[in-house]
Structures are given as structure tokens and as C-alpha cells.
Amino acid sequence: MLDARPESASQLDFVQIADFSSHDVFRDAVKDVDSIIHVASVSLRAFSDPEHDWFSMNLDILLTPRKPFSYSVGDNEKELVLPAINGVKAILNAAKSQPSIKRVVVTSSFASVLDVSKPVGPGFTYTGKDWNPLTYEESVDPKTSAVVAYRGSKKFAELAAWEFVEKEKPGFDIVTLCPPMSRRCCGRRRAVRDMCPLRRKSSPMKLRQRL
């Protein structure tokens, strides 16, 4: 990453996170930060990997796992649902300790919005009132597939974020984005410097923002 963006090397810091479940784990990482972008959900398999790390960029902290997300789980609650919830709580608790932070952007998912039992046609507009109807119990049930449990993990992680703000009333606001799809370039050495060609080549996608 540093080789791909040498002009930004002085603005990029790497911070290794050992235990995502600790509420204090991000406190040092967010010092002198004015905004946070939480961009990924992690499973316990990736989260417990000793090589799993995060990076921060200048005055904005960008959180992203090195290891790819996996549906190969044996315990929906332990490996999918709770890590997603605890990850959001950990970063919000850290943000609350820094008066300089004014906004936290949480990348949720269309999985937290979609009701698969209710097909909708063209022209339907989702709003902030639309939520996946899965219950917590359904999400963690051993009989529930990991794909469905993942939808629950995104829903309950996002709910945890909104509940945190309502209860704790921190000095920052939050925005949650619910994309139906996310894409990345293949190849570790390939840097994206201009989003326009990607937009022209990609099919239209809508991001829903809960306000």
C-alpha cells in the first residue's frame, strides 16, 4: 500500500489490533482523529488471526480486515453475530473518549434492510424505517445457515450503533451506509486512483443512508 501511494506515505499509520472484543482496544488508535470510517464486519476466524491488522489514515481512521470474510463457521453467534456487534461497540466506545471526533461512518449492509420474504418491484424506495425482520434468536440458531446469520449480524451490529448513540449521547454523530454490493480491485499492487472508470464499467448501485 505504501509503495502504491508514496505521496501519502507520511499520512498513513498502521496499528495492529490484538483483541477486537476489548472496549479499550482502539483508544490509542483514535487519538487526534476527527472522523472514523468503519468499513467491514469480521468473523471470529479472521478476528482471531495473529496477522489480522488495521490501518489508519491521517485524521481519518479507516478500519478494514486483512483476511477475507468467510461463511465457514461452526457457531453463528460466536463467530458471526457477536464479533460484528462487539466490533461496532468497541470503535464507538473509543470514539466517545476523543472529543475531536465529530462523525463515525459505519458501513452496514443491505442485508440489514432486506426482507427476503417480501419481494418488491421496480420503483420501490427503501427508507431508514426498513429493517431485516430476522430476530436475534433466529440469527444465532445452529440450524440457521451462515448466510442468513450474516444478515442478522449486520442488522444487530447496526442496531447496536444507533442504540449506543441514543443511550450514550456522544459528541459525534453517526451515518450508516447500506450497500447491496461492494467491490474491490483484484491484485495487491493495483491502486485505484480514479473512481470514474469504475463507475462507468459497473452496473448502477444505490447506497442507502440512514439519517
Phi, psi of 38 (to 5 degrees): -100, 110
**Nine-digit cell string for 123:** 420503483
Sign for the CA dihedral angle at 133, 157, 163, 178 comes to negative
**What does the alpha-carbon distance between residue 92 and residue 57 come to, in Å, rounded to a whole number?**
18
Active site residue 154: yes
Active-site choice (78, 154, 167, 206): 154
**Nine-digit cell string for 50:** 495473529
Are 30 and 92 contacting, i.e. CB atoms less than 8 angstroms apart?
Answer: no
Instruction: Report, as residue numbers or ranges, the catalytic residues.
Output: 154
